[in-house]
Structure 1
Amino acid sequence: MYRSSLFFFFIFVMVARSQQIAVLDADTGDAISNVAIYNSDKSKVALTDFDGFFDIAIFSKNERITIKHISYELLKTSKSQILKQGRKAFLVMRPEQLDEVVMSVSKWEQQKKDIPNKIATITARDIAFTAPQTSADLLQNTGKVFVQKSQLSGGSPMIRGFSTNRLVLSVDGVRMNNAIFRGGNLQNVISIDPFTIKNTEIIFGPGSVIYGSDAIGGVMNFYTQVPELSENDSLNVYGGANYRFSSASLENTLNAKVGLGKKKWASLTSFTFNSFQDLVMGSHGPDSYLRNSFVRTVNGEDLLVANDKPRKQVSTGYDQINFMQKVRFRPNAKWDVRSGIFYSETTEYPRYDRLIRPTGDGTGLRSAVWFYGPQKWFMGNVQLNKKGNGKFYDGLKITSAYQRFEESRNNRDFQDVNLNSTKEKVDAFNFNIDLEDKKMGDFRLYYGGEYIFNRVHSEAQNRNVRTDVITDAPTRYPDGSSWESLAGYVNSEYRTKPNFTLMSGLRYSHVWIDAVFDQTFYTFPFDDTNLSTGALTGSLGFSWFPKADLQVTFNGSTGFRAPNIDDVGKIFDSEPGAVVVPNPNLEPEYAYNVELGIQKNLGDKLVLKGATYYTYLVDALVRRDFSFNGNTELIYQGELSNVQAIQNAAKAYVYGFEFGMDAFLSDNWSLSSNLTITEGIEEEADGTDTPARHAAPTFGDFHLIWKNQKFRANVFLNYNGELAFNDLAVSEISKDFMYAKDRNGNPYSPSWYTLNCRSQYTIGANLVASVNLENITNQLYRTYSSGIAAPGRNLILGISYNF
């Protein structure tokens, strides 16, 4: 009798448990409490508990069910459909909500409405809909970040007039910036696989209190997907596959992932392969962008041949692979251990902007060959997370990581027999400890420390392409040089009133550089450099709601960038007729920033956003004319070149305005728009002013969106303002071959627009298809400072299957 009662009780528990449905955030996977679930006449009503569960047993099999929460979009479904989806219902955050949680400002979860910084969030749902080619395109699709490209495999973000080594790039809290991040354009962001990203957060303006050196213009944080634990003792198996095709580059992309989860441990594996052919540009625009000729080597001889398809940008294609393996172990409610392995590798890829440089007389092309060797990135990281009950903290994170970066440059002039090659490797070690203390009521404290060590390996050679004889050559950087940093920070959040939150922070960083210069090829006036310098940065700001639907934010902050190995020790061909030489006498550059933001919510129907900022940069590290052993010119790679060096030789100021609008016309129709206006000036040591190189032209977008539960469509316009000749930086004027010509024959960057359409249809619970058509009117254009023309009319097809 006892056993039979126990058996029936066990069956009852299992049946009852099988009727429990979890309501989760579609982007984060987090449980949502206090969600209302009801049928069409509201005669049956349920509410999710603290863990996001409700009992679906009260509803019949095919009964229509509405799931509603004030912060999320309405979901209409049925009991049978939810059961097919593994007893889970996913809700999508409403765009107008101010309750969004972000992690980038303190490395801990905070309400976005309490933060004085401007932050843009890109969710996994956004990424799936926009179907970006690379993570650089993912950033560009926000309409808030400007992206420059020197080749198809490029993607160098510009934020508030700053770029490259004045922006911080991080993955799962580990910074990718290394000791050879340069002031020129960078392609490292393409190493991040968009198929593995859970969400991305972009901080606009200095973030040096938390992120240290380089965080002057902003911070881009990529958070990758986390392995899912099982809710019971059975093995949770999930995964999916994605395919993407684009016509402008005959792209073929395939991604596959599989996850395994038990109650205490989980694993997630992802692999992506990309193949891109030569990119085809549009047809309506400047003829000077056409690829009329290119160099072909036949039987060891370089020939200039006509391109019978001048819109085809010969020598732009490449392939890439990405791999991610993550493991998670959560032995109890307090500890959560996460580890990850990331690997990315490209094939050799041509640097297109160098391949289209004309000779001095304009009759031919300067380079026969100019390509980057495979770009490789490896990262292994481990993060220990602990919650609660510490004497000095409520949350603890310890993160350690090792990264390996590899890149190379290979170039040969037209009809020259020598192929010049340099190869760099960087070993980077990161260690972070971050703590959160929220025991003090309305006061929260975030504090921690960071140690970084980089070792740079550099080698070079010249190879005679006819005899195959290899000779040594001067390296790009001092081989074996090191860069390291030690820092501590404290950041606080104090809610003085329910509608007023104050945030402040302070950080001290110390940086050391050790480099020994090889005297074999050049007689340097110094044998080594031993730089030791510190920087103190801070921030103070507030978020204020004078009314429930009106938010005002203000933030004052400082940022800095310490010199790195690229600044103090580089020798390379920066541009035709110029060579950069080492300069060990450098100091950090500092930025002082103020910004004001306003956001108004009009009845959850219209949200207006605006921000203005001003950033002043002192002791700016810039490339300027220099002397080497008393000489202003020297022979480099067989050419007499003007000597330049990185120097603390300028000041700069950047200011701008950013506007946004979201209009919710009905449950199906909505509008959104962004506009960014940036102005930047560099003040030279002699008092003259010149336009800042990375101040992007005015740019923006406008979207008309229609969606229901199965179909989503977005017709949108991207536009870009003109940069006249007088508004181009001096360094850009010297690259006039990349620009159109105005009526006076001077280079300038024309304005342009594109009309585009995206659509996505949910075929079934596990299958989603997308059809996008970009640049419908086939415009021929180059984004500012880019060496490659953008895609012409481009059909993008995608299919995604998840189980």
Structure 2
Amino acid sequence: MKPCYVIFLLLFASNILVAQQIKVLNKLTEEPVSGVAIYNIDKTKSVITNFKGEASIDKFSNTDVIYFQHLSHLLKKITKSQINAFNIVYLDSNTQGLEQIVISASKFEQNKKDIPQKIISLNSKNIEFTNPQTSADLLETTGQVYVQKSQLGGGSPMIRGFSTNRLLISVDGVRMNNAIFRGGNLHNVIAVDPFSIMNTEVTLGSGSVIYGSDAVGGVMSFYTLKPKLSKTDTLLFKSNAVVRYATANEEKTGHFDFNLGYKKWAFLTNASYTDFNDLRMGSDGPDDYLRSEFVLETNNGDVVIQNSNPLKQKYSGYNQINLMQKVHYQPYENLSFDLGLHFTTTTDIPRYDRLIRYKNDDLRSAEWNYGPQQWFMSNFQVTKLSSRSNLYNKVKATVAYQNFQESRKDRDFQSDVRNVREEAVDAYSFNLDFEKTLSAKTQFFYGLEYVYNKVMSYGEEENITTNTVFPTVSRYPNGASWQSAAIYSSIKYKPNPKFVFQSGLRFNHIVSKANFEANNVYLNLPFESSENKAGAFTGTAGISWSPSKVLQWKLNASSAFRAPNIDDIGKVFDSEPGSVVVPNENLKPEYAYGGELGLKLNFDNTFILDMSSYYTYLDNALVRRGHNLNGETEIMYDGELSNVQAIQNASKAWIYGFEVGLLFNITNNFKLTSQYSVTGGTEEKENIEVPIRHVAPNFGNTHLVWNYKQLKVDVFANYNSELSFNQLAPSEISKDYIYAKDENGNPYSPSWSTLNVRTQYQISNSTTLTASIENITDQRYKTYSSGIAASGRNFILALKYSL
């Protein structure tokens, strides 16, 4: 026999031998799946994977149809010859079951059904299919997070009647909330690139025990993609490229990522660029939303131009770049080191709601832009998942640095003066989290946290005619600091599979310092500096009880708090036409006390009904109210006589609501889902109760989803009830320029609904096409409190190619 034939036969034989040893992995996490039953159609041949997900399939022939079955994964069947060249079989998680894993409840993995609170989970497959333009749009797809938009480059989530700095955002376990997160609509969530997200968890209700200040109404936890190690001796290279186009705002998006995986080292690079043009609203709806005219700056000054297409919202377009680099090192199976670098920047973002304000009969502003908003985060994490220490079994240490930069640039119509205010925050944080198994029934979680923020803030007036610059009052006291130190503990007791009790306690100490000397040149405050100290205890206790396979009860009680930050204590800004907010050094934390009752009915995973009701009492609420400065209730600000306001502990609030979700698996390929949320609430103002600003209208969605082989189709409706004039908060009534007018000429938020279709087709193993038509009937509407109208009929096309 010739040598070449011998070599060929040896290679062929070795390939057969290797093919008989396979590894079964979770398709999403690429973690080994142990205990997978592998068998043929008559079950005469069978084998089970070991703890590494490995099994030998030499007893099966190449033509055998092999079944892979696991309790928490979907059944898979393939022939032996269809197993890929790497001898890896991927299984899809059974996300319809109750065995989903969440991290945000304790910083370590827990079974979702054990958590007394309600947590919404979205994975990368959900995100790829919903194809959101921003992370705010991603949250909106849940049907349980309401999103307000002041401009196209925005998205301020509302959860159970709370919003802005009463909600906490975390990225890879690091809090994004900083010392200048404001009570007005807040849009930092769009800094998180949807293409970088591995999974998202939204905790509905208080999260103060684990996350501290600001986690009053909920926590939005984003976990970004992790670099993947090679499971073999060869380099693991994976890459994805996506292009997307949308007609309503002429979106042009490009994205790529690639993974280099070795045995112990892995690297992941992620980059996205998006270009948005002016957004087109729908053709059928209130004429009050039309953009009939706009201001154009010319060599001869500002002029008002009639809009040739009143449906196009000039000016609203902007660009955004997102970059992420990650490094993973795993010297041992239970020890890992992770470095993450995130960077996001935008062009100027026109603040559309300010561009449509009128003063007398003229447009008030010639320009109003958020300057480039930048966010940089570097975080380093060490995780040990197995230890015989008496103090812990698992430990996770995270150190992070973040830099936030933002600015505001506005100029009145036919004015030579442009007001510019620039802010930057350096944020440092350290977290140390532990998990200890005390017994087969009891787990103990505990940890500590330290956060330090430094605020830089500058103000100036630019004369666009003479090109001269003069200093003016800054938005915040330059050099102000905010720091927080905390310890927490939580215990989980599970005496049997049907009952779980969890309880936790946290103590926080917060110190903020500010010097107002520079701003006193303009404001003449009665104080030159302030030092605000506050201590806060918060706690939670809840049970999850499943008396049968059909029935599950959840009951939870908790307290939460928000300590005054630099935005509350030291901000100077025009809150509304003719009003200015000034600093107030005498502030205390606000506290929330709440309870939640949930009931889930699960009929063999075919029909699932999930219901929750909740109630929250907010005490010592930090709100904007009328104030005086040295006895004066009016001062000059940016050339205008303005009413004086300040943030004060001047209110109480009562918030309540009900949520219901439905899942009906009509067939294996066809399902119906629906979600509806009802929220109500009032706050105390001048001894009377008035509607609360961030209580959203009743809202929900309904989806009909069909899967067949490589095709997935989702026909769905989004809907939203009306808020009448009498249901609007006083602060919303004062912004009548963003609302429609009722028959009496009063502002109100009309009801609306949209019909939509989303499809995804797997062209090949490497290519996926996603196509959608949103707002098919071209409705003209605004989500509640939004300055910009939502998109009209919108065609979206995305193509993904993977290697």
TM-score normalised to structure 1 length: 0.97
Shift of 1:583: 0.3
Q: After superposition, what is the alpha-carbon deviation per residue over 1:564-592, rounded to whole angstroms, capped at 9, x for unaligned?
A: 00000000111100000000100000000
The amino acid that maps onto 2:469 is I
* Distance in 1 between residues matched to 2:375 and 2:20, nearest whole Å: 46
Instruction: Provide the residue aligned with 2:402 in structure 1.
Output: 403
Q: After superposition, what is the alpha-carbon deviation per residue over 1:475-528, rounded to whole angstroms, capped at 9, x for unaligned?
A: 000000000000000011001233111000000000000100022212110010
Q: Secondary structure at the match of 1:331?
A: strand
Instruction: Provide the residue aligned with 1:377 in structure 2.
Output: 375
Instruction: Provide the residue aligned with 1:547 in structure 2.
Output: 548
CA contact (8 A) 1:96 1:607 kept: no
Instruction: Provide the residue aligned with 1:258 in structure 2.
Output: 258
CA contact (8 A) 2:210 2:506 kept: yes
* Distance in 1 between residues matched to 2:547 and 2:56, nearest whole Å: 40
The amino acid that maps onto 1:758 is R
CA contact (8 A) 1:300 1:466 kept: no
Shift of 1:63: 4.9
The amino acid that maps onto 1:302 is D
Q: RMSD in angstroms over aligned alpha carbons?
A: 1.6
* Distance in 1 between residues matched to 2:764 and 2:272, nearest whole Å: 24
CA contact (8 A) 2:545 2:552 kept: yes
CA contact (8 A) 1:394 1:439 kept: no
Q: Secondary structure at the match of 2:96?
A: coil
Match for residue 366 of structure 1 among 345, 364, 367: 364
Instruction: Name the CA shift for 1:758/1:39 in 2 (closer, same or farther; >3 Å).
Output: farther
* Distance in 2 between residues matched to 1:414 and 1:651, nearest whole Å: 39
Instruction: Provide the residue aligned with 2:176 in structure 1.
Output: 176
Q: After superposition, what is the alpha-carbon deviation per residue over 1:578-619, rounded to whole angstroms, capped at 9, x for unaligned?
A: 000000100000000100001111122100000000000000
* Distance in 2 between residues matched to 1:280 and 1:22, nearest whole Å: 50
- Aligned counterparts, 1:762-777, within 5 A: 762-777=762-777
Instruction: Name the CA shift for 1:11/1:793 in 2 (closer, same or farther; >3 Å).
Output: closer
* Distance in 2 between residues matched to 1:25 and 1:680, nearest whole Å: 44
Q: Which runs of 5+ in 1 are unaligned?
A: 1-7
Instruction: Name the CA shift for 1:588/1:12 in 2 (closer, same or farther; >3 Å).
Output: farther
CA contact (8 A) 1:671 1:704 kept: yes
* Distance in 1 between residues matched to 2:398 and 2:559, nearest whole Å: 25
Shift of 1:389: 1.7
Instruction: Name the CA shift for 1:770/1:78 in 2 (closer, same or farther; >3 Å).
Output: farther
Instruction: Provide the residue aligned with 1:295 in structure 2.
Output: 295
The amino acid that maps onto 2:372 is P
Shift of 1:764: 1.2
Shift of 1:766: 1.5
Shift of 1:15: 5.2
* Distance in 2 between residues matched to 1:759 and 1:708, nearest whole Å: 12
- Aligned counterparts, 1:298-337, within 5 A: 298-337=298-337
Q: After superposition, what is the alpha-carbon deviation per residue over 1:612-670, rounded to whole angstroms, capped at 9, x for unaligned?
A: 00000000000000011111111111111010000000000100000000011111111
Shift of 1:537: 0.2
- Aligned counterparts, 1:150-189, within 5 A: 150-189=150-189
Instruction: Provide the residue aligned with 1:507 in structure 2.
Output: 506
Instruction: Provide the residue aligned with 1:3 in structure 2.
Output: none
Shift of 1:43: 4.6
Instruction: Provide the residue aligned with 2:757 in structure 1.
Output: 757
Q: After superposition, what is the alpha-carbon deviation per residue over 1:96-155, rounded to whole angstroms, capped at 9, x for unaligned?
A: 311111111100111111110000000110001000100000100111100000111101
* Distance in 2 between residues matched to 1:630 and 1:772, nearest whole Å: 58
CA contact (8 A) 1:617 1:651 kept: yes
CA contact (8 A) 2:438 2:444 kept: no
Instruction: Name the CA shift for 1:311/1:203 in 2 (closer, same or farther; >3 Å).
Output: same
Q: Secondary structure at the match of 1:491?
A: strand
Matched, 1:55 2:56: yes
Shift of 1:473: 0.8
CA contact (8 A) 1:621 1:650 kept: yes
Instruction: Provide the residue aligned with 2:236 in structure 1.
Output: 236
CA contact (8 A) 1:96 1:601 kept: no
The amino acid that maps onto 1:185 is N
Instruction: Provide the residue aligned with 1:716 in structure 2.
Output: 716
Q: After superposition, what is the alpha-carbon deviation per residue over 1:16-48, rounded to whole angstroms, capped at 9, x for unaligned?
A: 444333322233222222223344454543432
Instruction: Provide the residue aligned with 1:69 in structure 2.
Output: 70
Instruction: Provide the residue aligned with 2:476 in structure 1.
Output: 477
* Distance in 1 between residues matched to 2:148 and 2:738, nearest whole Å: 12
Instruction: Provide the residue aligned with 1:687 in structure 2.
Output: 687
* Distance in 2 between residues matched to 1:21 and 1:773, nearest whole Å: 42
Q: Secondary structure at the match of 2:312?
A: coil
Identity %: 51
Instruction: Provide the residue aligned with 2:585 in structure 1.
Output: 584
The amino acid that maps onto 2:137 is D
Q: After superposition, what is the alpha-carbon deviation per residue over 1:293-319, rounded to whole angstroms, capped at 9, x for unaligned?
A: 000011041001100000001111111
Q: After superposition, what is the alpha-carbon deviation per residue over 1:546-566, rounded to whole angstroms, capped at 9, x for unaligned?
A: 112211000000000000000
Q: After superposition, what is the alpha-carbon deviation per residue over 1:154-210, rounded to whole angstroms, capped at 9, x for unaligned?
A: 011000000010000000000000000000111111110111111000001000000
Shift of 1:775: 0.5
Instruction: Provide the residue aligned with 1:538 in structure 2.
Output: 539
Q: Secondary structure at the match of 2:630?
A: coil
Q: After superposition, what is the alpha-carbon deviation per residue over 1:339-375, rounded to whole angstroms, capped at 9, x for unaligned?
A: 100000001110000000111x2x2210000001100
TM-score normalised to structure 2 length: 0.97
- Aligned counterparts, 1:262-661, within 5 A: 262-359=262-359, 361=360, 363-387=361-385, 388-517=387-516, 518=518, 519-661=520-662
* Distance in 1 between residues matched to 2:478 and 2:465, nearest whole Å: 29
Instruction: Provide the residue aligned with 1:83 in structure 2.
Output: 84
Shift of 1:51: 2.1
Q: Secondary structure at the match of 1:737?
A: helix
Q: Secondary structure at the match of 1:681?
A: strand
Q: After superposition, what is the alpha-carbon deviation per residue over 1:670-704, rounded to whole angstroms, capped at 9, x for unaligned?
A: 110000000011112x3201100000000000000
- Aligned counterparts, 1:147-226, within 5 A: 147-226=147-226
Q: After superposition, what is the alpha-carbon deviation per residue over 1:682-740, rounded to whole angstroms, capped at 9, x for unaligned?
A: 112x3201100000000000000100331111000100010010000111101111111
* Distance in 2 between residues matched to 1:715 and 1:185, nearest whole Å: 31
Shift of 1:68: 2.8
